[in-house]
Chain A
C-alpha cells in the first residue's frame, strides 16, 4: 500500500500537465479561428485612415483581395511588412484595417516600412476587428470576389506564408 502512494505526486502532476497540454494544443485551430471563414463579410464601413486614400468596406469587390489587420504599434506588423510588399508585387490587392491608431502614426509607419495597401480603414474601437472574429494583430483574411472570407491567417506573414496566401488568392478567384 505504501509503495503506490509514493507515485501519487507524479500521478497528480501528470493530470495537471495533461490538462494544460490539452489547453495548449486546442486553441490555435479552434477558438481563435473566426467563425466567419466560409461566410460573407459582415457589412461595415470605416473612416479612411489617411486623407485622400480610399477606405475598406465589407462590400463585394468582384475580385479576390487580402484584408490585413495591422497597427503601427505592433512589432510583428513591422516583421511582416516586406512580405506584404512581396504579395503586392505578385499582383495581390491588399486592403488594410488599422486598429486603434492615429493617422499620423499610420502615415509614419507606412513611410518607414512600405505601403502595399490599396485602401486603408481606421477601426478605432476594434469593432470591425471583433466583427471579423479576429483576436489580435496582425491577422490577414483572404476574401473572394463575392465578399466571402475564404481563409484566415493568424499572426505575422513569414516568407513561407507568401506562396500559401497567393495560392489561397488563386483558389478564391
Chain B
C-alpha cells in the first residue's frame, strides 16, 4: 500500500511542478515579452511610454547623427509610411548602417523618442530582419 501511495504522491508532485512552471511562465510572459512594432504600427496604435518593445524597420538614409559625446547616436527608423526617431548609446553592431534593416530593443521616452538599449542587425545581408517581413504587412497605406 505504501509504495502505491508514494507513486501517487510523486505523480502529483510532478504534475504540480509542471503546472506551477506553466503558470509562472505565462504570468512572466505577460510582463516580459517584448512585442514587435514597426514605425507604422507605432503611429497607428501608439505604444505606452516605458513599455519594453522591439522596433524594426530600415535605417533611413542620411539620418544617422552622432552627438557630441561621441558615443550616442540618433537615427530614424522607417518602414515606408512612417518614421520613428531612435537614440542609442553604445557601439553599433557590425552590420548597422544606413538603408539597411535594424531591430532596436528598448522603450519610448515621453517625448516620442525611442531609447534603444540594444540594436540588432541581421548577420546575413540576404535577409531582412525576420520580424520585418511579417510586421510590414500590417501596413496597408503604401500608396503615396
Distance between A39 CB and nearest chain B CB, rounded to angstroms: 8
Also in contact, A43 and B144, with CB within 8 A (given A31-B134, A125-B58)? yes
Q: Is A36 an interface residue (CB 8 A)?
A: yes
Q: Is B94 an interface residue (CB 8 A)?
A: no
Q: Is A100 an interface residue (CB 8 A)?
A: yes
In the complex the two chains form, what is the Cα distance from A74 to B124 in whole Å? 12
Q: Is A88 an interface residue (CB 8 A)?
A: no
Identify the interface centre among B61, B127, B133: most chain A CB within 10 Å of its CB: B133
Residues of A within 8 A of B137 (CB): 31-32, 35, 133
Interface residues on B, range: 20 to 34
In the complex the two chains form, what is the Cα distance from A143 to B20 in whole Å? 56
Distance between B118 CB and nearest chain A CB, rounded to angstroms: 23
Q: Is A10 an interface residue (CB 8 A)?
A: no
Q: Contact between B142 and A36 (Cβ–Cβ < 8 Å)?
A: yes
In the complex the two chains form, what is the Cα distance from A40 to B127 in whole Å? 26
Also in contact, A74 and B11, with CB within 8 A (given A125-B61, A126-B58, A133-B142)? no
A 89-123 to B, binary, CB cutoff 8 A, 1 in contact else 0: 00000000000100000000000000000000000
How many A residues have CB within 8 A of the partner chain? 25
From 89 to 126 in chain B, residues with beta carbon under 8 angstroms from any chain A beta carbon are 99-101, 125-126
Taking CB as reference atom, which chain A residue is nearest B59? A125
Q: Is A131 an interface residue (CB 8 A)?
A: yes
Q: Contact between A125 and B99 (Cβ–Cβ < 8 Å)?
A: yes
Distance between A147 CB and nearest chain B CB, rounded to angstroms: 12
Residues of B within 8 A of A71 (CB): 126
Q: Is B136 an interface residue (CB 8 A)?
A: yes
Q: Contact between A130 and B79 (Cβ–Cβ < 8 Å)?
A: yes
In the complex the two chains form, what is the Cα distance from A63 to B134 in whole Å? 32
From 118 to 173 in chain A, residues with beta carbon under 8 angstroms from any chain B beta carbon are 124-127, 130-131, 133, 135-137
Also in contact, A131 and B58, with CB within 8 A (given A31-B134, A42-B144, A73-B126)? no
Taking CB as reference atom, which chain A residue is nearest B135? A31
Q: Is B85 an interface residue (CB 8 A)?
A: no
Besides the known contacts A31-B134, A40-B143, A43-B144, 5 further A-B residue pairs in the complex with CB atoms under 8 A apart: A71-B126, A74-B126, A125-B99, A126-B58, A136-B127
Across chains A and B, which 8 residue pairs bring their CB atoms closest together, nearest first? A125-B99, A135-B133, A31-B137, A131-B142, A31-B134, A35-B140, A42-B142, A130-B80
Q: List 12 A-B contacts (CB under 8 A).
A: A5-B11, A35-B142, A71-B126, A74-B126, A125-B58, A125-B99, A125-B100, A127-B99, A131-B80, A133-B137, A136-B133, A137-B126
